[in-house]
Amino acid sequence: MVCLVSRTGRELQRYNNMGGRQVVGCIPYRYKQDIDGNGSNQLEVLMISSQKSQRLMFPKGGWELDESLEEAACRESLEEAGVIGLVECELGQWNFISKRHGIYYEGYMFPLFVKEQLDYWPEKYLRTRVWMTVGKAREVCQHWWMKEALDILVQRLISLKQQQ
């Protein structure tokens, strides 16, 4: 059973030693299937709109005291994008300035290999979600650090394919 309510509030939020929030995000991905349901090598990533605008980004949110980084990544992907999958090895950690607060936040990003896409999820009526190619995602993504994480994911997947 899946919880269909987003966490709210900041009581459990983690902060760095400079007072900036620690946030965790995922790049949900899959390989496109053809009409017959056969897999292909074409990588697709899932982007979501911001709550405040139609700007696109990957799911991310606060890392809370009662969860691991990986648990936070799964939770954010479920709450914001309505996808469930396998969290893979961390892509990296970035420091970026919050536009709203003007202080450095810490952002951690993970790949999430999508196994299930839900019809209903906690933020279904707050956000739109769209599958797209990596090239399109890189073009429309609003955060430089998420673009860097995407580049790392693509290189990792290419490297894994070459090893096979």
Q: Residue 124: which CATH number?
A: 3.90.79.10
Mean pLDDT on 33-54 = 83
Given a cut of 70, whether residue 48 has pLDDT beyond it is yes
Residue 52 domain-assigned (yes or no): yes
7 pLDDT more than 60: no
pLDDT digits (tens, 9 = 90+) for 78-106: 999 999 999 999 999 999 988 777 788 99
As a whole number, the mean pLDDT across the chain is 90
Assess if residue 135 is contained within a domain: yes
Number of domains in the chain: 1
Asked if residue 47 is part of any domain, the answer here is: yes
Residue 17 lies in a domain: no
pLDDT for position 152: 97
The DSSP output letter for 105 is E
Q: Let me know if residue 126 belongs to a domain.
A: yes
Question: CA-to-CA distance for 41 and 32, rounded, in angstroms?
Answer: 7
Residue 66 inside a domain? The answer is yes
What pLDDT score does 33 carry? 77
Interacting residues of 33 by C-beta distance below 8 A, sequence separation 6+: 39, 40
Which residues touch 126 (CB under 8 Å, ≥6 apart)?
51
Instruction: Give yes or no for residue 1 having a pLDDT over 60.
Output: no
Q: Is residue 11 part of a domain?
A: no
The verdict on residue 80 lying in a domain is yes
Q: In terms of residue numbers, what domain contains 133?
A: 22-163
Rounded distance, CA 127 to CA 49, Å?
5
